[in-house]
Amino acid sequence: MTDAPPSSTFDAVVIGAGAAGLFCAGVAGQLGVKVLLLDHSEKVAEKIRISGGGRCNFTNRELDPRAPQKHFLGENPNFCRSALARYTPQDFIALVRRHGIPFHEKHKGQLFGDRSSEDFIRMLLAECAAGGVTHWQPCTVASIATSGEQYELRTSRGTVHAKSVVIATGGLSIPKIGATDFGYRIARQFGLRLVAPRPALVPLTFDGEAWAPFAQLAGLALPVRIATGDKKARMAFDEDLLFTHRGLSGPAVLQISSYWREGQPLRIDLAPGQDIAGSLAQAKARSRKLLANELAQWVPSRLAEAWTQQDPAWQRPVNEASDKALQQLAQRLSGWELVPTGSEGYRKAEVTAGGVDTRELSSQTLESRQRGLYFIGEVVDVTGWLGGYNFQWAWASGYACAQALAAQHLPAAGTRL
């Protein structure tokens, strides 16, 4: 990739060198589009670098492009169907294999690199290099304005003109690695509607005093079934839950957080698949153990101990407990209902829900109503589940946009790589 601009005029400028921006720039460049990729951060693709515990959960085999509402949310989850159908997890897997990057499946279709996220960053940079992409980083954009049929961008490395501008600047999540509201500001500047952004895939928090009995469980993880919403819009997940000093985290809570709304309760089954009521009734007839000790057969002992401390009726041998007390204990364990007071916010949110309203964009090209202005990746109101879905949206939306750029600038070149 070249470091210095051969001229100040390009076919397209891609702003944001994260997953969507890097991939879009590389594909478009290889299709013959003259691309400038720029980013305000010192380091390229920091979100890829820290993802998946540093190994990058780069896609998910279980994604079904025909039914995006299964794994994506937004005001119109079906918006992403076109892009996801044209660039699938299998397509990205093929690219990963071409670059010789070893990977494995963890569970539920989640694919991770065997070594390091750096493998994927190097792959995307190599794809950009193969497309002759000019890369300025760090480089800030002071303003974007229309100039005739072109855009004029005033940047920290000079003024640039281009017929197309692609916004791939992501959302507000994890500001310490460079997240800003740049994409939303550009959308508003050109009169495009936004769906209010909010943290998603984020730990949930609870009132300090009310949470005190459970704070001692920090670090404890267990499989649960977690749900929120009413009967018409109920979402549930079977995943692992993690207790923290301030609330709840782990895959179960990160997943449900994208659907949870302030004031709504969560309902958690702490022993899914277990008939706790029946088991305790049987134990009463044969055991003299403390209730906490009996309960530890089905849930972690730390949880059993903390749970039974909530009620004096539960702090006795199981054979001395009343049937009513045992029934209440079982019901509370299988239907623990609690209302979060908030979340850990953008500081710990893996993604940002909301963003540029999909009604303002073409599902085929990702071009907005403002001709020549495109939005891809997380900045759009498309949010995937935990487990590689958001990266696949980045690849698919970047690919669809790159194809559109090639068709616009080189009508004969807009063909599949």
Domain boundary among 344, 359, 394: 344
Same domain, 184 and 214: no
What confidence tens digit (pLDDT) does each residue in 218-236 have?
A: 999 999 999 999 877 799 9
- The answer to whether the CB of 376 falls within 8 A of the CB of 401 is yes
SS (H, E, C) 346-388: CCCCCEEEEEECHHHECCCCCEECCCCEEECHHHECCEECCCC
Whether residues 28 and 169 share a domain: the answer is: yes
289, part of any domain:
yes
- Is residue 63 one of the residues assigned to a domain? yes
Tally of domains within the chain? 2
Q: How many CB atoms lie within 10 A of CB 259?
A: 18
Question: Does any domain span residue 181?
Answer: yes
User: Domain containing 236 — which CATH number?
Assistant: 2.40.30.10
**Per-residue confidence at 6, pLDDT binned at 50, 70, 90?**
very low
Mean pLDDT over each residue of the chain, to the nearest integer: 95
- Cα of 360 vs its chain's centroid, Å: 22
Q: Note down the domain range covering 238.
A: 203-344
Same domain, 209 and 307: yes
Strands (E), 85-156: 103-105, 110-113, 134-136, 141-147, 150-155
Look at residues 301, 329, 344 and tell me which one is the last residue of a structural domain. Answer: 344
Q: Looking at residue 45, which CATH number applies to its domain?
A: 3.50.50.60
In a domain, residue 414? The reply is no
CB-side neighbour CA atoms (13 Å) of 188: 9
Kindly state whether residues 233 and 87 are assigned to the same domain. no
Q: Is there a single domain that holds both residue 317 and residue 401?
A: no
pLDDT category at 417 given cuts 50, 70, 90 is: low
* Residue 167 domain-assigned (yes or no): yes
Assess if residue 224 is contained within a domain: yes
What are the residues facing 145 on neighbouring strands? 152
Task: For residues 386-399, give the mean pLDDT.
Answer: 98
Answer yes or no: do 76 and 185 share one domain.
yes
The model's pTM is 0.94
Give the separation between CA 167 and CA 376, rounded to whole angstroms: 6
pLDDT of residue 2 exceeding 60, the answer is no
Whole-number Å distance between alpha carbons of 113 and 97: 11
Give the pLDDT score at 4: 46
**Same structural domain, 132 and 269:** no
Lowest mean pLDDT among 165-169, 286-290, 380-384: 286-290
Question: Are 181 and 267 in a shared domain?
Answer: no
Model confidence at 416, in pLDDT bands (50, 70, 90)? low
Same-domain status, 329 and 404:
no
Phi, psi torsion values for 193, nearest 5 degrees: -75, 150
4: in domain: no
Name which of 298, 306, 388, 396 is nearest 351 in CA terms.
Answer: 388
Length of the chain counted residue by residue: 417
Domain boundary pick from 314, 344, 374: 344
Check whether residue 179 and residue 327 sit in a common domain: no
Residues 137 and 208 in one domain: no
pLDDT reading at 315 higher than 70? yes
In the structure, what pLDDT confidence band is assigned to residue 414 with cuts at 50, 70 and 90? Answer: very low
Residue 273 forms part of a structural domain:
yes
Same-domain pairing of 176 and 29? yes
